[in-house]
Amino acid sequence: MHRHGHGLMPTILLIDDEPATRQLVSLLLQHQGFRVLTAADGQEGLQAAALQIPDVILLDLMMPKLHGHDVMRQLRRDPLTRDILIIVLTARGGDQDVAESLRLGAVSHLEKPYEVEELLRRIQAALSLRHGDALDLVSHATSHGR
């Protein structure tokens, strides 16, 4: 069911309530050749995900209206969006957040502030997962952090 990108440019949906973060990350990712969509809150993000079916979602957890974990639950319930790769970005580094994000199907978890290079590595790893190279990402996710 998943559309594999738009031509050669993978689509990234960034869901984050911080305008500066949305602007900066969008510019960086566009510069790297990604097609970037942004949403300012979880509701907007769910609508964009259902309409655009991005390759990867970069999802902030702490947002008004809808917490990132609630966004993930709703994405996983919808057959159109359930297979979208999700990388969680958050200022909160608690073990419970990480565990819950992974339980809900995040392929990676990145704590703010993060290095651009690390974000790009996580996106590339997620995209390689989409193309069948699952083992690298799983071992990376489990060996990283705790």
State the chain's mean pLDDT as an integer. 85
Q: pLDDT at residue 15 above 80?
A: yes
Express each pLDDT in 26-62 by its tens digit. 999 999 999 999 999 999 999 999 999 999 999 999 8
Confidence at 137, pLDDT banded by 50, 70, 90: very low
pLDDT for 93: 60
Average pLDDT over residues 82-106: 86
Contact 16, 142 (CB under 8 A): no
Strand partners, 38: 14
Confidence at 90, pLDDT banded by 50, 70, 90: confident
Domain 11-140 has CATH 3.30.70.580: no
C-alpha 138/C-alpha 80 separation (Å) is: 23
